[in-house]
Amino acid sequence: MSIIRVNDLYLHYGTPGGIVPAVGGVSFTIDGRETLGIVGESGAGKSSLALALMRTLPRNVVTFTGTVELDGTDCLKLSEEEYRKKIRWQKIAMVFQGAMDSLNPVIKVGKQVAEPLLLKPEIKSKQAHATTLELLKMVMLPPEIFHRYPHELSGGMKQRVMIAMALILKPKLLILDEPTSALDVIIQAQIMNLLKRFKRDLKLSILFITHDLALASDLCDKIAVMYAGEIIEMGTAEELLINPKHPYSQKLLGSIPRLAEDARPEFIPGAPPKMTELPPGCYFRLRCHHAYNRCLDEHPPNHKLPSGQLVKCWLYGDKR
């Protein structure tokens, strides 16, 4: 039973230099209690995708089309007012990238976590206080954190606060955008363990955005790889991490430095294309060892493999 179904999402920004595509035709579904990982380099469009789902896009958005079905309702068709009252933070919540640095430095932490609750007229402050304490406990923070200020907390603690804040209205979908990128490796593992626990105990669907494929393996049931605004491969964690099909996914997997083996990590030469200068044909072709003439001219569509895995690559299409 899918909680959220995204179909054909397109996003374009208007800049002084012209119209820049950010997300091009992205489609995916997340079922209840399922975690989907979106993996890609910076600039691939992952954050834009998340902001689109939250409908907190910047003002210079020019095109925003597609459908986002949450429990049957098309979120994009709702007015801003309706979306804010019914969906945002209540059905979908997000921990933004670098959010822990945007906590209000002059308001106590507990009050900030409780804020979404306090904004609801039907909830009294005593109840909100109790719920907040419950949540702090859930994210493994001692209750006295309620009365602390953000600068008194470490990075790991602040990130837990952000997660608590996102969960306070019991959303169905939690979006996490690079939640551990600024944290030390042990704290990162602790937070991942926490998220694993949530996955198990709460009926939570998660959209996990990261640039680290290894990190995605820690939580995600399904993984989608994004490149230049498109999903170029999507499949189960097993499929992506053991036998990735798209050359980019393969390189991505190969670039992870492993402790166990002595293998030299591969790297992908070159850089992703500038979104203002997208080449014709496949966007990855300039960096791909397997590119042939079809890749130069025609943009590959999504090919569905018999296993259900989706690959956007001519290597898997019907060869002509």
Per CB under 8 A, residues contacting other proteins are 16-17, 35, 41-43, 154-157, 184-190, 192-193, 196-197, 199, 211-215, 217-221, 236-238, 240-242, 251-253, 255-260, 264-269, 271
65/193 with CB nearer other proteins = 193
Q: What is the 3-state secondary structure (H, E, C) of the chain?
A: CEEEEEEEEEEEEEECCEEEEEEEEEEEEEECCCEEEEECCCCCCHHHHHHHHHCCCCCCEEEEEEEEEECCEEHHHCCHHHHHHHHECCCEEEECCCHHHHCCCCCCHHHHHHHHHHCCCCCCHHHHHHHHHHHHHHCCCCHHHHHCCHHHCCHHHHHHHHHHHHHCCCCCEEEEECCCCCCCHHHHHHHHHHHHHHHHHCCCEEEEEECCHHHHHCCCCEEEEEECCEEEEEEEHHHHHHCCCCHHHHHHHHCCCCCCCCCCCCCCCCCCCCHHHCCCCCCCHHHCCCCCHHHHHCCCCCEECCCCCEECCHHHCCCC
Least Å distance between CB 253 and other proteins?
6
Give the number of residues written for the chain.
Answer: 320
42/125 with CB nearer other proteins = 42
Least Å distance between CB 307 and other proteins?
14
Q: Are strands 92-95 and 61-70 parallel, antiparallel or unpaired?
A: unpaired
- The tokens describing 316, both together, are 């898997």
84/196 with CB nearer other proteins = 196
Least Å distance between CB 286 and other proteins?
15
100/253 with CB nearer other proteins = 253
Least Å distance between CB 42 and other proteins?
5
Least Å distance between CB 316 and other proteins?
21
Tell me the C-alpha to C-alpha distance, in Å, between residue 111 and each of 105, 253, 306.
12, 42, 51
70/176 with CB nearer other proteins = 176
Least Å distance between CB 219 and other proteins?
5
18/72 with CB nearer other proteins = 18
70/252 with CB nearer other proteins = 252
In whole angstroms, what is the distance from residue 309 CA to residue 54 CA? 27
265/308 with CB nearer other proteins = 265
Least Å distance between CB 63 and other proteins?
23
Least Å distance between CB 68 and other proteins?
25
